[in-house]
Structure 1
Amino acid sequence: MPFRLPSLAAACLALVGSLFVTVAPAEAAGTLSTKTSLVAMTNAGYGSVWARCTKKKACKGTIWVEGASAQKRSFKVKARSAGYVTFRNTNWRAKPKAVVRMSGASPRPITQQAKVTYGTIAGTVARTGGAAATGVKVELWRIGSRNRNVLVSTASDVERNAGRFAFRVRMGANNSPSATYKLHVIGTSGGERRSWWWRGNGKGAFVGGARDMGAGTKIKVTRGLNYRYVANARYSSIRGQVVNGSKAVSGTEVTVVGRPPYWSRSSRVLRDLDFMSCGNVYGRTRTNSSGRYEVGFLPTSANRIYAVKPAGSLWFGSNDRAWGTCHAVVNNRGESRSTARMLHLPNAGLTGRVQNIGRGRTTVSVVAGGYQGKASSAKVDRYLTVREYAKGRKILASDVVRAGTGRKVSLGEGWYWFEMGRRTGCHAWYKSRYKNNDGYFNGLDRGFEKWKAKNYRMYRQHCRAWTSGTYKLVYVKGSSMRVGLKNYKGGSVSGRVTAAKVKPRTELMIRLTSTDGKKVYRTAMTDGAGKFKVTGLASGRYRIVVNADSWRGISRGFSGAKTVKVTRGKNKSVGTLRFRQ
């Protein structure tokens, strides 16, 4: 036992010593390194390799190629940095395979080849069917970071050059790939200027065009492509006739809409489409006296991406079948790159399409049951709203396709939200306690709005509601159908507004809003004592806003309850709300 402790100490000293012995050489060996394997050589025999120095002091020495030591060159790389180190080898053509040696670095095998400064992006824009476009040009855009894209060059009057265009682009160091580019194709057809971004299959073959830049194909010129990227493009047209029954429809606008070539995962990208989260406009025209039209300069596509939309609410796709909404014709983004309900565009174009706007509609009768509110609130509680269903969009953010107090609507096939008593906004005259309200509209910025103040009347964003509102998702199809909606008496929130400098009897608007995308806001006006009661609320949590329209002279800041939880059919008091003035 007495001898074990000294033995342990000796072992620890030996271990520490071994650490010092092994660490120091490792640091020394890794002070300079390079991963360059292909070197572009100039005619004078100069080439460069990328070197990294990890020392605290600059790495310096000489560099040469084995067998050409007479052409040694000195170099210096700053401490803890990297850069190109130039060497010379005038015999590189005879011996393209070589080994580069640098002071402080391991030998590096390399392949030497002639330096290529520029590559080429070239192709043709060819009409394969339909009317010819004029003023065709192709723009070359360099793609940068953070959407800092730059227009580099433009090839104008392409059709006068037999459809050909070409751009010279600088290659990277040591013949590495060029920067990333995209092609924007522009032309005039039917008196309308149109454009789209070139799309290929990754090998240069044309597969179609995209209206938004983000969906355009990225192009790089590489050594593997012999420094030439071929990007041919083809365009054609869609011809057809718009009729209503057997009668031609003249002078109506026809729009050709295309879905994106793929569905982005970015909600921002989907939101920026011409038809939100659905499609983009590729071209427009008007029918002639016979109801006929032609929309040209459309990029051909083997995928089904196109739809035809005459003025009105119908969308026509495959087999000229009518759909009620953009989201219906793209099948609610169910298919990733090609939608069976839509049209593809072959090289010869599409001809003989007939879009009958007198067919493909469903007469929908809406029956309202349950609590209907008071007669005075009919414009809100009995108001019917039909919205286009859109995948991923909140109900109240979806597009309204029909609205009013009627109970019959005509719709094309597809999914819709049917709502009763859910107007998201109401501007109307209400009876004021004050004869003269001109004071609300003084000044240069609001003086022109004095028309909103009448004798004992005021025009504000307020309409009384009593029902909670109801909604239902319905698939519309066939010649006719019935939709039943049942409404209920809403909950209410009561309270009182006071202030040190504003008389409590001043008319203020109280607004309760919900941000869950399903409940609509409701408003109420304070009475002469500052009391209010907001009615017609669906169950849920609401945010309280005082004087939501921000009229001059009255602060919106207050102390008291900021949110409230409401139960349908019951009242909830929030007590006193005090302006902080």
Structure 2
Amino acid sequence: MIVSSTLVVAVPSTAQAATGLEVRSNVVAVERPDSTGHHPLYLYAVCKGSKTCSGTATLVQGGLVKTTSYSIKGGKSGYLKAYWNKAAAQPTELGKIDAFKRTFTWTPKGASKKSKSIWLEPRIYSRRIQGQVRGPASSRIKDLQVSKWVVSGLRSSRVSTAPVGSDGRFDIGSSALGRNNSPGAAYRLSVSAVVDGTEREWFWLGSTTGSGFADGGGGWIRDAAVVRVQKAGDFQADFAYGTVSGRLTGTGSAGADVRVLTPPPSYPSRSSDRRGLDVPYCANEFGRVRTDDAGRYSVTFVPRPDAVRYRYMVDFEPAGALRGAVIISDGNVVDSCQAAIKYTRDMSDLLGFPSGSETLPVGDVSTSADQRSLTINGNTLKGGSVHDRWTTLREYSVGRKILESPIVAEGYANSSGNKTFAARPGKYWVEVGRRTSCSAWYPSIYSNNYLYHKGGERGSERWKTVGGSVPEYSTSYRYGYVKRNPPKGYKGWMYRDVCKAVGAGKYVLITVGAGDRTVDVTNPRGGTISGRVTRVGGKSNKEMLVTAYSTDGKKVLRSAYSSRSGGFVIRGLASGSYKIVVNADSWRGISRSFSGKKSVKAKAGKNVSAGTLRFKG
């Protein structure tokens, strides 16, 4: 009996027969002989209709016949088992390696016999996965290894690793073929090495037929090409890498930070995954170095396709005050990774390894190429905070929400509200007082934040706590803690993800042309949302984070935390509708359910009450 592609001992079925059996196998592999000397065969079949398909099956081969029974449930698939007797083969077939033809018959219960010609071939149980890692010899690259991975749903696991020999060759071992010599299970491959003292790893892209053709590499396992062994021979999966080199000239060229970036082979469908790229929504990083005293850089172990592919860009950040940029073809400079791909994932302007070359020469590029001075005069607000002077320069792109446009420069304006950027010709969103969030140490009525550690993944959050004037963990200093006593009425300090602003923020679209430019931007006073948080069961409603956010891609979110009485006031809101989120964890943002208003319409310069929010968690 065969049910749902699972082989069971063959016995007649008592279910009502159906005549909808379709045998789909055309080439069948001859298995090793069983204890009787017969060689099992398995033919894939589908039972069409709702009734069970049952009957008998035979491989026709002279006078030696071995009949089996089958049963497959309606609408399911399975395998019919038959046997080949080597003793009944023609003399010319006994030593044959290639396929030879036979007739397979099956007789459905209550129906006439049916037949089909099939080809038999020797069973191949496994093939090896092997290949070569090709690239320029360099003492900068050590401990080359190739790993095999399996992917199951959202989980991926490294199952084996093989060293790369001095000749560049590797052998990751045998992999089983499927039934009837069908391709084996799906794997992915990665290559890793210690490059300039740092471990690097990327995933194989190449010919899925196992021809050895290398087509570059992917930053994530989901970028990798699928490796399946096939009956034709061992699977050859070659890796190829090269070196991207060039020189920066001008101010900040010595000690500049240089990265080689590559857009993924295909962009993830989920926005959260695209945001998770090394350069959000744009590309992954395949190497990073600092320039030497002469501005020279050489980034090696970069995936290199065997065919010319324009996939690379060089991102640089000069040492000092100059703003970074991205180098594309012919030494041209653009503002950002998104600009390099024209915001449409167009790679025609990117860099590519010359045919047959292991080196991609970029040439000399000036760090100040095409830069103009852009001064923003942001009128300050009476009673505003330092965050009202936060100034951002975003690169404009058609069809992209403002808050999703890439930030090319940002920082605090001076006390007069002035901020100067270096900008290249193009269109920009200039924003004043629109910082989405910022973190700082705020005084707390609690000596620790253990209250926030109950549930979820909050145990690791204790480094935020400072009891009195002494931090619990040295990590606190890395996040800007300065040892000092808390103000009167407070017991300690906590690192809170809260950005207090008064202004609603202002954004304008401007164009930078051939000369320097000055832009005046007024930050208007924002609206407020006030209310009170209560908690059931006598739990504290103090210092809980309350956030108002919009999904229109134009308005920034604002936050506040509740007072000793549970009251809160969220300030600096532009006019519009906001959703309300209440949580007790300012770092991970683990929201909790509550009853009360879930959305509020704010108006600049006015206060709106959210009423009482009853916190349940």
User: TM-score normalised by the shorter chain: which range applies?
Assistant: 0.7 to 0.9
The answer as to whether partners of 1:330 and 1:342 remain within 8 angstroms in 2 is no
Residue 341 and residue 238 in structure 1: after superposition, are their counterparts in 2 closer, same or farther (change >3 A)?
A: closer
1:186 aligns with 2:192: yes
1:64 to 46, 53, 58: 58
Distance 1:154 1:461 in 2: 42
The superposition leaves residues 46-71 of structure 1 with CA deviations (integer Å, 9 ceiling, x where unpaired) of 2332356689789454x433342423
Amino acid at match of 1:102: W
Separation of aligned partners in 1, 2:271 and 2:566: 43
- The aligned counterpart of 1:297 is 301
CA distance in 2, matches of 1:206, 1:566: 56
The one-letter code of the counterpart of 2:333 is: A
C-alpha separation in 1, matches of 2:564 and 2:169: 77
CA deviation vs aligned residue, 1:482-514 (integer Å, no higher than 9, x gap): 334344343445668899999xxx999876443
Match for 1:37 among 8, 19, 26? 26
Whether 1:520 aligns to 2:556 is yes
Deviations 1:276-327 (A, max 9, x none): 1111111123333433232222222422211223344222222222222222
Give 3-state SS (helix, strand or coil) of 2:311's partner. strand
Q: Contact 2:548–2:578 at 8 Å: present in 1 too?
A: yes
Say if 1:271 and 1:60 are closer, same or farther in 2 by CA, change over 3 A.
same
CA positional deviation for 1:172? 1.4
Say whether 1:454 aligns with 2:487.
yes
- Number of residue-to-residue matches in the alignment: 530
Tell me, which stretches of 5 or more residues in structure 2 are unaligned? Answer: 1-15, 94-98, 319-323, 451-461, 470-483
Distance 1:238 1:110, change over 3 A: same
Q: Would you say 1:566 and 2:602 are equivalent positions?
A: yes
1:19 alignment counterpart: none
Corresponding position of 1:87: 83
Offset, 1:146: 0.8
1:429: Cα distance to partner? Answer: 9.3
Residue aligning to 1:467: 503
Task: Say if 1:383 and 1:421, in contact at 8 Å, map to a contact too.
Answer: yes
- Matching residue of 1:433: none
Q: Please state whether the residue corresponding to 2:348 is helix, strand or coil.
A: coil
Match of 2:169 in 1: 163
Percent identity of paired positions between Structure 1 and Structure 2? 28
The superposition leaves residues 122-170 of structure 1 with CA deviations (integer Å, 9 ceiling, x where unpaired) of: 432222688784433322334x441444444433133x23536464322
1:88 partner amino acid: W
Moved more, 206-215 or 45-54: 45-54
Q: Is residue 503–residue 573 contact of structure 2 (8 Å, CA) maintained in 1?
A: yes
Q: How does 1:365-404 map to 2 (within 5 A)?
A: 365-368=375-378, 372-374=380-382, 376-377=383-384, 379-387=386-394, 395-396=402-403, 400=407, 401-404=409-412
**1:88–1:328 distance in 2 versus 1, CA, 3 Å:** same
CA RMSD of aligned residues (A): 4.4
Note the 1:371-450 alignment, pairs <5 A: 372-374=380-382, 376-377=383-384, 379-387=386-394, 395-396=402-403, 400=407, 401-405=409-413, 406-412=418-424, 416-425=428-437, 439-441=445-447, 446=465, 448=467
Q: Matched residue of 2:185: which SS?
A: coil
1:486-544 deviation digits (Å, cap 9, x = unpaired): 44343445668899999xxx999876443434223456799999987655431111345
In 2, Cα distance between equivalents of 1:233 and 1:559: 57
- Letter of the aligned partner of 2:334 in structure 1? W
Task: Tell whether the 8 Å contact from 1:325 to 1:414 is kept in structure 2 after alignment.
Answer: no
Q: Secondary structure at the match of 2:269?
A: coil
Work out whether 1:175 is the aligned partner of 2:208: no
Give the secondary structure class of the aligned counterpart of 1:441.
coil
* 2:349 maps to which of 319, 340, 343: 340
- The answer for the alignment partner of 2:245 in structure 1 is 239
Q: Which amino acid aligns with 1:87?
A: Y
Contact map agreement 2:392 2:411 (CA 8 A) in 1: yes
Post-superposition offset of 1:352: 6.2
Partners of 1:184 and 1:310 in 2: CA distance: 27
| Residues 89 and 538 of structure 1: CA distance in aligned 2, closer, same or farther (over 3 Å) | same
* Partner Cα distance (1:303, 1:39) in 2: 41
Alpha-carbon separation, structure 2, partners of 1:118 and 1:101: 29
In the alignment, which residue of structure 2 is the partner of 1:22?
Answer: none
Task: Read off the aligned partner of 2:30 and give its amino acid letter.
Answer: M
Separation in 2, partners of 1:254, 1:136: 23
Residues in 1 aligned to 2:147 and 2:271: alpha-carbon distance in whole angstroms: 28
* Counterpart contact for 2:126–2:177, Cα < 8 Å: yes
Q: 1:191 to 1:75 in 2, by over 3 A?
A: same
Q: Which moved more, 1:451-460 or 1:270-279?
A: 451-460
1:284 to 283, 288, 291: 288
User: What CA distance in whole angstroms lies between the structure 2 residues aligned with 1:128 and 1:383?
Assistant: 47
Equivalence for 2:366: 356
Q: 1:216 and 1:507, CA in 2 relative to 1: closer, same or farther beyond 3 A?
A: closer
TM-score, normalised by the number of residues in structure 2? 0.72
Q: Does 1:541 align with 2:577?
A: yes
1:410 Cα offset (Å): 1.8
Pick closer, same or farther for the CA change 1:520–1:501 going to 2, 3 Å: same
93, 96, 102: which one aligns with 2:100: 96
1:213-224 aligned at under 5 Å gives the runs 213-223=221-231
Is 1:125 equivalent to 2:133 in the alignment? Answer: yes
Aligned residues of 2:131 and 2:238 also touching (Cα < 8 A): yes
Which digits, 9 at most, give the CA deviation of each residue in 1:55-102, with x for residues without a partner? Answer: 9789454x4333424232334547666334131242176492221123
- Alignment of 1:327 onto 2:363: no
- Listed one character per residue, the Cα deviations across residues 181-214 of structure 1 (whole Å, up to 9, x for unaligned) are 3222223443343332222255533222222221
Cα distance in 2 between the residues matched to 1:53 and 1:352: 61
Task: Quote how far apart the aligned CAs of 1:419 are.
Answer: 0.9
Instruction: Specify the SS of the correspondent of 1:488.
Output: coil
Structure 2 counterpart SS, 1:328: helix
